[in-house]
Chain A
Amino acid sequence: MRTEPIQPTRHARVLRPQEEWKEIIAIYLYLAGMGAGSYIIGAIINWFINPSRLIPIWGFPLDMAKVALLWGPILVAIGAPFLILDLGIKKRFLYACLNPKTSWVARGFLILSIFIVFGVVLLAKSVLPFEWLRAEAPFWYVAEVITIIFAFATAFYTGILLKATKSIPLWNTYLLPLLFLISALSTGSMAIILSTLGTSLLSLDSAALKILMGGEQILVVIEGIVLFLYLSRRYKASEQGKDSVRLLLFGEKKLLFWGGVVLLGFIFPVVLENISSLTHGNAVLIFAAGLILLCGGFFLRLGVLSAGIREQIPMQRLMEIKYELRTTKIKEN
């Protein structure tokens, strides 16, 4: 006769996600993604509309319209020190580019550095009032193309950094870089909307703002579809992928997912933006929707990071099978 265990909960499997990469890395991924996304959107607007608004600051007439559109590299430059903050020995951060042949951290270091340098140079060129900087030379076109390419690379890289970790099934898919790219574009376009509202570059009922907000809402919808595809694929991918999704949707992280990602990232912004469009562009509502969406973008990264459960070690699996340590009951906190 088989005896019942004294403490049945001990046989339950506790879902333990990785704890090496936490909030600091989430902030880094978020700022890098948002900065790159806002640069892409801003550069496209700059190409097609090319707005200009000279405002004198300390005697210099600076072009604030360009600041509002091309400030993405500054965001990435603010985000990059967070990666350094997470290092064990911070003063050695320059060593991080020594192995670009195989390491995505090293490649990311180079991609971000190039994007920040080119982006800041282009921002300075567009904003500063010096005539010799304004000269249209082929070099500037090449620099703009390079910066756009590296902006895309930065947005993709934030997902590929996680995808390169093959032992965590939740991250090991190409849908993750795609999700982060679309999230980067949606949060980036919202950052552009907020900054242009802040500098009153676009009037509240202008066609440009309506197109931007429409595009932003489409991006949010696409992001939602990709998030659904991503989670459903990961649920089917492997046992630990399933565990990760369950942890995120119904387990310990459910508040972060349903509250932070779904409500703040998708539902609230779309609802608020639609209400604001009904009230002919209420600036307060747009600001609220923007800030909430930006928070949602951060929680998306944090949720994906904090729900990464490592693939089970083969030896542990063998032990569990051999000694029947696993029961069908799964504790989900």
Chain B
Amino acid sequence: MEQKVLVVDQQKCTGCRLCELVCSVHHTGSSNPSRSRIKVVKWEDVGVYLPMTCNHCEKAYCVEVCPTKACHREPENNNRVVIDKNLCIGCRTCIVACPFGHPFFDVQERVTVKCDFCDGDPKCVAFCDMKAVAYVDADMIQVPKKREAATKFIESLKQLR
């Protein structure tokens, strides 16, 4: 099966934070962005918004440092990295270890939570009006960039003629 990943196009993001809301409603039942698994990093003064979510790294530090094996990889399920709530003790070692600052501590459930691709149907992708977040095959993530580069190349060739 093809591995699929979440891809973010920062230039399309308007910083509306709808993804945070739908994520929190889907996972916790409450419309509370602080409990969401996706976070929009903002530079308000220059109008730059960057939705950040788990990268499900190939060499995942969170899996390595988890003392209980609650944070584990599921090769049969899109090779995603997930946290088993029933095993997590809330030690927050994974939060300290993650270079992307991703797993979040849920203050109500007292465990660490992270993106699980909503079991194959990411709600952030479904609800993003600007299509800034996409759920695509891992092999296809470079295609838009390649297309952009090719377009630029053609334009420069045209100018030369």
**Residues of A contacting B65 in the complex (Cβ-Cβ under 8 angstroms):** 102-105, 164-165
Q: Contact partner of A168 among B67, B96, B100, CB < 8 A?
A: B96
Q: Is the CB of B91 within 8 A of A96?
A: yes
Q: What sequence of 0s and 1s flags, for each residue 87-131 of chain B, a beta carbon within 8 Å of any chain A beta carbon?
A: 111111101111111000100011110000000000000000000
How many B residues have CB within 8 A of the partner chain?
36
B43 & A323 in contact (Cβ 8 Å cutoff): yes
Docked-complex contact B99 and A167, CB < 8 angstroms: yes
Q: Is the interface of A mostly helix, strand, loop or mixed?
A: loop
* Cβ of B52 under 8 Å from chain A: yes
Chain A interface residue count, CB cutoff 8 Å, equals: 37
Bound: A7/B63 CA distance, A: 42
Beta-carbon contacts of B48-72 to A below 8 Å, as 1s and 0s? 1010100000000101111111100
CB <8 Å contact, B99 and A21: no
Flag whether B151 is at the interface (Cβ < 8 A).
no
Contact B52 A166 (CB under 8 A): no
CB-based nearest A residue for B100 = A313
Are the C-beta atoms of A316 and B96 separated by less than 8 Å? no
Residue among A102, A103, A165 with the most chain B CB within 10 A? A103
**Inter-chain contact B45/A5, CB cutoff 8 Å:** yes
The answer on a CB contact under 8 Å between B89 and A88 is yes
Chain A residues with Cβ below 8 Å from B97 are: 164-167
B96 touches A20 (CB 8 A): yes
Q: Contact string, A303-323, partner B, CB cutoff 8 A, digits 1/0? A: 000000011010110010001
> How distant is the Cα of A15 from the Cα of B41 in the complex, in angstroms?
16
Nearest CB of B to A12, in Å = 12
A331 on interface, CB distance cutoff 8 Å: no
Interface mask (A7-46 → B, CB under 8 Å = 1, otherwise 0): 1001100000010110000000000000000000000000
* Minimum distance in angstroms from A317 CB to a CB of chain B: 11
Which residues of the other chain, A, contact B45 by a CB distance below 8 angstroms?
5, 7, 10-11
- Return the contact of B91 from the options A86, A165, A313 (Cβ within 8 A): A86
A103 CA to B69 CA, complexed, in Å:
9
Q: CB within 8 A of A96: which of B46, B61, B68, B101?
A: B68
- The answer to whether the Cβ of B34 comes within 8 Å of any Cβ in the partner chain is no
Which residue in chain B gives the minimum CB-CB distance to A88?
B90
